[in-house]
Amino acid sequence: MKTGTVGETLNYNLNTINMNTILIIITGVIAISAIAMVLASYNIVKDENGNKIPDWVEDKFSDIKEEIKKLKK
């Protein structure tokens, strides 16, 4: 049994929660990306340039890049 102060115990639990949350978010992003690429390869979603990345993902990514440039200024 591990002994320690209450602060050490709370700190450990907080770090574990943060890492689990980050892992869940990364897993979700990877799953959504994989699904989008499969749908694009079967021509279910629009992919004008044939790079297996749906156009809506490319559009959203370019919007995010523009927002980041605005925030940097």
pLDDT at 55 over 80: yes
DSSP 4: -
The answer to whether 52 and 41 are in contact (CB under 8 A) is yes
Out of 28-37, 42-51, 56-65, least confident range:
42-51
Gap between the Cα atoms of 63 and 36, Å rounded: 18
- Band of residue 3 on the pLDDT scale cut at 50, 70, 90: low
Gap between the Cα atoms of 28 and 21, Å rounded: 11
The answer to whether 54 and 47 are in contact (CB under 8 A) is yes
Higher-confidence residue of 47 and 24: namely 24
pTM for the whole thing?
Answer: 0.54
Neighbours of 65 (CB within 10 A): 10
